[in-house]
Copies of this chain bind each other. A is one copy, B any other.
Amino acid sequence: MLLRLRVPLSTLEKDSILKLCKELGYSTRFVAEALLELEGPSRPEHRSRLEDHAVVLEVMAAAAELSARPPGGPDTVVAIGDARFGGEFVSIVSGPCAVEDGERLLEIARAVRDAGGTLLRGGAFKPRTSPYSFRGLGREALELLARAREETGLAVVTEVLDPRDVEEVGAVADAFQIGSRSMGNAALLSEVGRTKTPVLLKRGMAATVREFLLAAEYVLSAGNPNVVLCERGVRSFDSVTRNLLDVGAIAHMRSATHLPIIADPSHAAGRSDLVAPLARAGIAAGACGILVEVHPAPHEARSDGAQAISPRELHALADEVRALADLTGRRLAEPAQPALTSGRSDS
């Protein structure tokens, strides 16, 4: 590693950084006034430790963290039910924004599976900007999700918001969703990190890629290696879309990390007519899957109705995703079981 230091350094400051390096097991050599070269253990945790020192401006040639892809290393493939993320696989995660009703959920779940989706998403505990908005059915929704899984064979992912709910949500969910607002919630990340349940981790709305990967590091370093990253758009200055889907970050992360990354075109677009082009863009940039909100009657949805596509649109989109996966040398992970139901549930 190479430390870039703030200059000029006082003797106290110099002693202090040299002492820290020594404590961490490094031998040091100044290669320029502001550059200190370190030789030693290069452990994952050392980059942050060094960055935290007041006189360190930057750690160059930094020790690899757990999320980093070793040179030439393979993708980590995360499996959730029939869904596979990474490597040769692309998967479709879909469902309603919030679980609102058992029949409706079942209708949607069937449509998801019929389209080729393998993982059902549905909010039980909803993070909302306003305290007056619908915040989900909670436990009741968890039960409905479990029933939908039973009926359709789809695995289930749902958001957990509160460290106190991890056990209860984990008893039902095949994967935890950590939403954008929670990306920096260390208590929550540590808690899901102590389980082995896969974690679908969304990027914070103005998080850098490094901050995003350090959030994943909370989970990985706690012992849970099953992290699927999700790019869902970052905040921008224009309002034609709700967020700005960062396809460059998707492309960059394909080489920067071994973890799979998927795209959420629904929250990026914020409007149903742009979901399909953004989903295609995400896959084309290298994403290993998409997370799409679907609803047969968006005006009845209690949250985010404006961005929900119809089951019919999901079906068409899934066909495009198949073709794009193929074009980029991959394939869609399809539901293993034959569909139990015959009816299509398009709106």
- A residues whose Cβ falls under 8 Å from a Cβ of B: 2, 4, 6, 10, 12-13, 16-17, 31-32, 34-35, 37, 44-49, 51-55, 60-61, 127-135, 161-164, 181-182, 184-187, 189-190, 205-206, 208-209, 211, 214, 217-218, 221-222, 233-241, 243-252, 254-256, 268-269, 273-274, 277-278, 280-286, 297-303, 305-306, 308, 320, 323-324, 327-328
Contact = CB atoms under 8 A, between A and B. Distances in A.
Q: How many copies does the complex hold?
A: 4
A300 B278 CA distance: 36
Given A185-B185, A208-B237, A247 B52 contact: no
A255 to B, nearest CB: 7
Contact of A44 (B13, B132, B285, B302): B132
Given A49-B133, A54-B299, A240 B235 contact: no
Given A44-B132, A327-B324, A247 B161 contact: no
A55 B305 CA distance: 8
11 contacts: A2-B32, A31-B35, A45-B132, A129-B184, A181-B185, A206-B235, A233-B248, A238-B246, A247-B247, A254-B277, A283-B284
A46 B132 CA distance: 8
Q: When A and B form their complex, which 8 residue pairs have the shortest distance between CB atoms, in order from nearest?
A: A54-B305, A206-B206, A181-B184, A241-B248, A45-B132, A48-B130, A284-B284, A251-B277
A134 to B, nearest CB: 7
B252 A248 contact: no
A219 to B, nearest CB: 9
Contact of A34 (B60, B254, B282): B60
B185 A247 contact: no
Contacts of A246: 236, 238, 244
Contacts of A187: 161-162, 164
Nearest to A193: B131
A248 B274 contact: yes
A281 B247 contact: yes
A299 B306 CA distance: 37
A284 B317 CA distance: 12
A301 B16 CA distance: 10
A46 B284 CA distance: 40
Contacts of A161: 185-187
Contacts of A163: 162-164
A248 B46 CA distance: 31
Given A31-B32, A128-B186, A306-B54, A249 B255 contact: no
B241 A53 contact: no
A237 to B, nearest CB: 5
